[in-house]
Structure 1
Amino acid sequence: MRDQGHPPVISYSPTLVTVYLLRDGRLEPVRIPVASDSADNIITTLFRAGKLPPKPGLSSALDEFSHYDTESTRYSDTAERNDPVDNQGYRLNVIITGTGKVSREGLAQITCTIRQNKQASIWSVEVTRLFPGTPESLGDHTCFEYRDLAAKGVRLPP
């Protein structure tokens, strides 16, 4: 038997995404490796990072909730936007489950995490709480509306 050299090695370089967790009620970005930068993976990573924060002192306003699904739709509210017709974006609907009311900080975490990683294609983020109880839309958001929640020195995406 002849030696044919070293066996093949598969090299894996994870994609890093930025998720927003909370420190003293303020949004703080944290870089976390993910298998891919799909919207579904990004949101799943946000919920997982909140339950097991990667740095001391970080927390999440989403601990009582779980990510259920994400759906994107063509942005159709052109009356409010001044964008060229051929530059169409999407609205991402993040569907969650859990009891209680999602706080403004929780909405900011979801919205700013998506906007940070998908700025070019996602124009707004809609959050829907599916169950238990009656499904409830928590509105259509951009990260700009949460700029007052940014930690000192943190610049949030649009």
Structure 2
Amino acid sequence: MSHARSEYEDFKRIAPDAYELVLALGQVAAKAGLDKQLLELVKLRASQINGCAFCLQHHILLSERIGVPLDKLNLVVVWREVPIFSARERAALAWTEALTCLPGGVGEDVYAEASREFSETELTYLTSAVTSINVWNRFGAAFRWTPAKRPVAANAATS
């Protein structure tokens, strides 16, 4: 079992300027009007690839709060294998994987698919969202931030 080297709160305390910059970058895509559920799927997928338990749990909980369907949360890891994701979501997830796993670069087919589904402005902001979660993942995975615990339901103690 791994242990935290430091925590999310430590990052805010130790490097508040870096924290604020990464936080701001993560917010611009939603402020630009990209669908928040789509952005959460992107953040989940990048966090899965990067092995960031803190970010994965954070975005699962946030996705649940904003109404991302449970089937999508459960199956985003195998999004290519199931028909529940829209063409737009598929393009965003492929774009996310290409940007997160850069050694092979971003292929023309992935770029073409993303360009069909997103305007130039939307694709630029989607790229900022993918970039942001990858930055967060680097901090969370490097320092092994402890994932948040799921709140216990009020009636859970009686079952």
With normalisation by structure 1, the TM-score equals 0.33
Relative contact order, CA 8 A, sep 6+: which one is greater? 2
**Which one has the bigger strand percentage?**
1
In our comparison, the structure showing a higher alpha carbon Rg is: 1
With normalisation by structure 2, the TM-score equals 0.33
**Which one has the bigger helix percentage?**
2
